[in-house]
A and B are shown apart, each in its own frame.
Chain A
Amino acid sequence: MQFPSPTVQAAPPRSSSGATQPLLAVRDVYKTYSLKHGQTLRAVDGVSFTVMPGEVLGLVGESGCGKSTLGRCLLRLNDVSAGQIIFDGQDITRLPERILRPLRQQMQMVFQDSYASLNPRRRIGDLLAEPLRVHRTPDGRKHTPMAIAHRLEELMELVSLPRAALERYPHEFSGGQRQRVNIARALVLSPRLVVADEPVSALDVSVQAQIVNLFADLQKSLGLTYVFIAHDLAVVRQISTRVAVMYLGVIVELGETDTVLHNPAHPYTIALTQAVPRPVVGAPRHAPLRGEIPSPVNKPSGCRFHTRCPAVQTRCQNEAPTLTQIAPNHAVACHYPVLKSTHA
């Protein structure tokens, strides 16, 4: 199946301000879970960043570092424990659901497991129509059946599925097609922000590229803004304008995609880029790091990476580094950042 350029035009920008205002601003956000025996786990431990309209922010890091938790906080699917989430200039952190509701149309999520997120007993057309039946048009009216039918056809075209797919059930699709359905569902209400949590990780290798292309096409043609969560650095590089690297609940490096992936300054980012196995035969490379990510319940003191860091110094054990700008649009949380590809 090839992907014709989507014919449907982007919804007109609804921002009252110019493009100089971030679509999403995250200010010192914490998310704490309470565990048994009075223990607490700070899954997100003080995170700040902004995303401009039309930008794709890639969020990478190893399992359990807090990517999904943060993603859910951004859309208020989780309540944050502290900090602020500002969407299009409006603080949504503690908005009651009633006021939040119209805003929810503008931010949607796509998940990894294409099957779990679709009700198996409902036809695709039904699943896609539901948000239109629940939500109202911008001028407060109900969507007419005609308008709904028209929108569904538009959506099928957007994600390159045949119209006949609307009559079928989720189990009748392959994983890649189901992920197209999930993307269509996220787009029903013409959102401006899409948070995608590992949307291609569960797909067959030969299908991943199709879906990565689809995300990229939609982003361009609809002017969407993404927070794209993935552990595959190559996929993140392909789609993102900027990349944030997380470790144990915090962002350790943030900057332009090529800066972060080709000139990483944080020892963890350097290790991460070196650990990615590439489909090129060469001298076998050695594991860049020893040990594993420590438990998020008992985080190391000082710099939380110090137990595995090849560049650790005494200061790192006691003093936590903060995310600091080291160049325009490049911030690192490390006392001894590696500057200018000296590690190559």
Chain B
Amino acid sequence: MPTNTLSPPLLDVHDLCVSFTSRGQVVPIVENLSFSIGEQEILGLVGESGSGKSVTAMALMGLIDAPGVHVSGSARFKGQDLLGLSGKQMRALRGREIAMIFQDPMTAFTPVYTIGWQIDEQLRAHHNLSRKQARTRTVELLGEMGVPDPANTANRYPHQLSGGLRQRAMIAMALSCNPSLLIADEPTTALDVTVQAQILDLMRRLRTTYGSSVLLITHDMGVVAETCDSTLVLYSGRAAETGATQDLFAHPQHPYTAALLASIPPMNGPRPDRLPAIPGTPPQPLERPAGCAFAPRCTYTHASCLPAPPPTFCTVGPAHKVACVLPGEGNPLPKRAYTSATPVL
């Protein structure tokens, strides 16, 4: 869905930095992250485990306040800076304006109450509803999320539901107050593909039925390609590339994005003898190079990649930006060679 370029974005994150202090050392986790999400837009935040996706989400939700944590930057949401809000202000916003769902739905529910009761309570905390009115709405919501027999399912405890049903119940709870922004952290990672496909269908429908924007966090490039309007690729706590999903997948311009896409085994066409693998592993935060974080693994590393500071975003197309020195040096990567003409299985 094209985002309206005239209205300001729903969420505008600027220079977000998160660090932890561990044994007297400052560990930079997320560095200078900037992105925005438009009304009814789905933005995919994609990166490998440890790249800082969850930390980003938690920072936006005001959910990391452990000792030694330092968060800086700004995150403007409907005219206010989320990072400057007090705990009380943030709590008022959470659930009502911004809701979050997790990979493991068990973390969202307490085991001792039925899921229906917990969604009722969430509704009643933000709206003036009788218990009966709340339950009517709960059953309606569960039904809309594709839960079969919602009236009875509402009376069941979290552990009595399958993973897919729990995930739907959690989405129902997250949407109960019609939030403008839903942050979904790996919502389908623990699910089977056939159920994952159902939940992704649901995600895509949210913006039309609920007018919600979604920040979808995942490590799966396939999930991003099928679900997100725009994409932000994270590598070792830093933004590597961002753009409209269509453009980014057609012509990835950061060597990491390109190499990652190339390393995914194809489902059709000839099977390569060997996959074009990326050598090595992502660096730990404390071992992150001063220059480009991908330099130790990149095929194109050269002198200008190595000195600090890391490359900043270079614009390569409308809304398409790359944190790599190549485009600026007049050596952009070639287009991705994939056979979109081949029917996807």
Residues of A participating in the B interface, judged by any CB pair closer than 8 Å? 1-2, 62-63, 174-177, 204-210, 212-213, 216-217, 231, 233-235, 237-238, 261-262, 271-282, 284-293, 344
Contact = CB atoms under 8 A, between A and B. Distances in A.
Given A284-B204, A284-B227, A291 B222 contact: no
13 contacts: A1-B280, A204-B48, A204-B49, A205-B220, A205-B260, A212-B275, A272-B194, A275-B194, A278-B226, A278-B344, A279-B225, A289-B198, A293-B192
A279 B279 contact: no
A7 B278 CA distance: 23
> Which of B226, B279, B338 has the most chain A CB atoms closer than 10 A to its own CB?
B226
Nearest to A271: B194
Contacts of B297: 206
Contact of A280 (B148, B162, B225, B275): B225
Interface residues on B, range: 35 or more
B196 A278 contact: no
Contact of A206 (B48, B200, B220): B48
B318 to A, nearest CB: 16
Contacts of A278: 222, 225-226, 267, 344-345
B225 A231 contact: no
A217 B275 CA distance: 11
B198 A290 contact: yes
B282 A276 contact: no
A204 B267 contact: no
Given A213-B275, A233-B267, A282 B344 contact: yes
B263 A205 contact: yes
Nearest to A216: B274
A276 B193 contact: yes
B267 A209 contact: no
A288 B194 CA distance: 7
Contacts of A176: 281
Contact of B345 (A62, A231, A238, A262): A262
Given A207-B278, A278-B344, A293-B192, 20 more contacts: A62-B194, A63-B192, A204-B50, A205-B219, A208-B263, A209-B278, A213-B275, A216-B274, A237-B265, A237-B271, A238-B275, A262-B345, A272-B193, A277-B222, A277-B223, A279-B224, A281-B245, A281-B249, A285-B197, A292-B164
